Amino acid sequence: MDLLEKIKISAKQHSKRIVLPESFEERTLKAADVLLGEKIAKIILIGNRPEIEEEAKKLGLSNISAAEIVNPADHPNKEKYIDMMVEIRKKKGLTREEAGKLIENPLYLSTLMIKAGDADGEVAGAMNATGDVLRPAFQYVKTMPGITVVSGAFIMILKNGGYGEDGMLVFADCAVHPDPNEKELAEIAVATARTAKAIAGFEPRVAMLSFSTKGSAKHEMVDKVINATRIAKEMAPDLKIDGELQADAAIVEKVGNSKAPGSEIAGKANVLIFPSLESGNIAYKLVQRLAGAEAIGPVLQGMAAPINDLSRGCSVSDIVNLAAITANQAANS
């Protein structure tokens, strides 16, 4: 059975409440219909029930009546959410009036529902830019304890196996934080190891990547990776992690043995942490295109509750898959 099927079966067992705030968007509504029909998650839509049901009827969708539909205009918890917003953003000087306007925006209402425990996770981005999806999440849901930075992982599934965990590797950060410092890079490593276990389903062996292996080059960029490796070990003493390693030393056994003898990770890594967003984003796209690998993600990690961002070019099945991943993250958080 492939990984996505396993993820959907696991999601069904947990029956988590996932908000899809872009509720009038056609692909989103079709995905909600599939998620409800297959009972992958409970779905919360945002808007006016008669209008959403009319739209669903036009599209020939039969399961939408099973969704919880909340309307920002008359949400029973609106005042409570406004209080929470003003309290959380008091240092930023957010007024009740400003909060009252923001809560009308489905992307803000979703995050407040999650913060208040009225929903377990969110998937958006089919029609909103990454920054617009993530900003409310950063501001109100915030990061999980011990983590200050949200990052994005991809589960890479290679056609021919051979590397990583039977051909599966997790790459990060490929999506969010452009230039992490050494502490942030350590956090990204720890969060990605958790994603590998919770979503990809394997025991992580983490390689901290660089253009140097064990001192072969001297540069402040190499020092950043060495220091991040040390900090990650302090944060998670049981984590199997090593660095700095070049990519070939991380994943090719023969090269790992010769460049980093004695390392329990070199040659066997199944989680690759890139030193910057630039390298991570470029690497996942090259592996996807040149090696024909399947790239599942980005799975956003480090947030106190799971909120995931779609590409605006996403398909209905991309939304279904990401909602199932989000439900699994919620079950494991």
Interface contacts to ligand ACO, rule CB under 6 A: 130-131, 134-135, 138-139, 143, 149-150, 175-178, 281, 298
Query: How long is the chain?
Result: 333
For residue 181, the minimal CB distance to ligand ACO (Å) is 12
CB of 37 to ligand ACO, least distance (A): 28
CB-wise, 130 or 227, nearer to ligand ACO?
Answer: 130
- CB of 69 vs ligand ACO, minimal distance in Å: 29
Q: Are 55 and 28 in contact (CB under 8 A)?
A: no
φ, ψ of residue 226 to 5 degrees: the values are -60, -45
The nearer residue to ligand ACO, 48 or 139, going by C-beta atoms, is 139
239-259 as b/e: b if 16+ CB within 10 A = bbbbbbbbbebbbbeebbeeb
**Rounded least distance, CB 333 to ligand ACO, Å:** 16
Q: How far is the CB of 149 from ligand ACO (least distance, A)?
A: 4
Which spans in the chain are helix H?
Answer: 3-14, 26-37, 49-58, 78-88, 96-102, 106-115, 130-136, 182-195, 220-235, 247-251, 253-259, 277-290, 316-332
Contacts of 144 (CB under 8 A, 6+ apart): 191, 302, 303, 304, 333
* Prior bond of 179 cis (ω within 30°): no
Q: Would you say 70 or 175 has its CB closer to ligand ACO?
A: 175
Toward ligand ACO, which CB reaches closer, 200 or 322?
A: 322
Q: Which residues pair with 273 in a beta bridge?
A: 172, 208
* Cβ pair 327, 122 in contact under 8 A: no
114/176 with CB nearer ligand ACO: 176
| Continuous segment of H or E residues that includes residue 142 | none
Q: Which two tokens mark 85?
A: 């917003």
Adjacency order of strands within the sheet including 271-273: 240-245, 205-209, 271-273, 168-172, 151-157, 294-301
Give 67 or 133: the residue with its C-beta nearer to ligand ACO. Answer: 133
Task: Give me the least distance between CB of 305 and ligand ACO, in Å please.
Answer: 13
- Is 249 or 307 the residue whose CB approaches ligand ACO more closely? 307
Measured from the CB atom, is 51 or 87 closer to ligand ACO? 87
Contacts of residue 166, defined as CB under 8 A and 6 or more positions apart, other chains included, come to none
CB-count burial class (<10 Å; 0-12, 13-18, 19+) for 119: buried
Least separation in angstroms between residue 329's CB and ligand ACO is 16
Q: Which residues, other chains included, contact 103 with Cβ-Cβ below 8 Å and sequence gap of 6+? A: 72, 75, 78, 81, 82, 85, 109, 112
- Shortest distance (Å) from residue 58 CB to ligand ACO: 31
Residue 34 or 88: which CB sits closer to ligand ACO? 88
Shortest CB 237 distance to ligand ACO, Å:
24
